């Protein structure tokens, strides 16, 4: 009777098993769904330089409670952008500041502005200074806080400014999904709550 050598089959199976298992693990980014407000043409083809600065004292986006729950978090956020009442379309993977820049770029385009991301050039400049972006788990709740100051500058002079902040909580009954919901809700609220028209009017550019 011929002897069957099973050793090579097992040796082949083990690495393939681990490759497949690794491909099925969760992606270590947190998903943020940004919902645009209704589009308008209040600024028709007006150019504005857009800059986002990180003014946070604590640049870690997660508190200790959130780190325990989200131990695989990579520090990246998967941003999706949705039209009103629509589903989100993937925009990309970002760190916090990059996600803020992309969110505001979409918001500016949504009202007819042409955002310019280069650092040099003459013209009005919208600077977003991020002061807070912090997700934590406190007891049974996810808590997310976000805040920033928006400034209009021209020729290096601050012509107007406005502060926006928001905070939200969600009961942690489904873990990561609830964290992502509160992130999307407060991110959307804070980005959309900035009154860009009033900001330009106060700067004498309305």
Kindly report, residue by residue over 78-124, the tens digit of the pLDDT.
999 998 877 789 999 999 999 999 999 999 999 999 999 877 778 89
Tell me the two tokens of residue 25: 């693990």
Is the pLDDT confidence value at 19 over 80? Answer: no
State the pTM of this model: 0.85
C-beta separation of 90 from 80 below 8 A: yes
Question: Buried b / exposed e across 103-127, counting CB within 10 Å, b at 16+?
Answer: bbbbbbebbebebbeeeeeeebbbb
Residue-wise pLDDT tens digits, 56-74: 999 999 999 999 999 999 9
Is the pLDDT confidence value at 43 over 50? Answer: yes
The mean pLDDT value of the chain amounts to 87
- Mean pLDDT, residues 34-54 taken together: 92
Domains and CATH numbers, the chain: 29-202 (3.40.50.10610)
């Amino acid at each position: 009777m011929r002897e069957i050598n099973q050793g090579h089959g097992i040796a082949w199976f083990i690495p393939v098993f681990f490759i497949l298992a690794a491909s099925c693990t969760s992606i270590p980014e947190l998903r943020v769904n940004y919902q645009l407000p209704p589009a308008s043409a209040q600024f028709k083809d007006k150019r504005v330089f857009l800059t986002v600065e990180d003014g946070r004292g604590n640049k870690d986006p997660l508190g200790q409670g959130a780190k325990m729950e989200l131990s695989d978090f990579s520090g990246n956020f998967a941003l999706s952008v949705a039209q009103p009442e629509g589903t989100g379309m993937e925009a990309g993977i970002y760190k916090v500041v990059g996600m803020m820049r992309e969110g505001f770029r979409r918001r500016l385009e949504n009202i007819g502005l042409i955002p310019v991301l280069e650092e040099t050039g003459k013209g009005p400049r919208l600077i977003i200074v991020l002061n807070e972006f912090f997700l934590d788990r406190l007891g049974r709740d996810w808590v997310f806080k976000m805040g920033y100051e928006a400034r209009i500058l021209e020729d290096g002079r601050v012509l107007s400014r406005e502060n926006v902040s928001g905070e939200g909580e969600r009961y942690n009954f489904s873990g990561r999904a609830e964290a992502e919901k509160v992130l999307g809700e407060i991110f959307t609220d804070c980005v959309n709550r900035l009154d860009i028209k009033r900001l330009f009017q106060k700067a004498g550019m309305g």
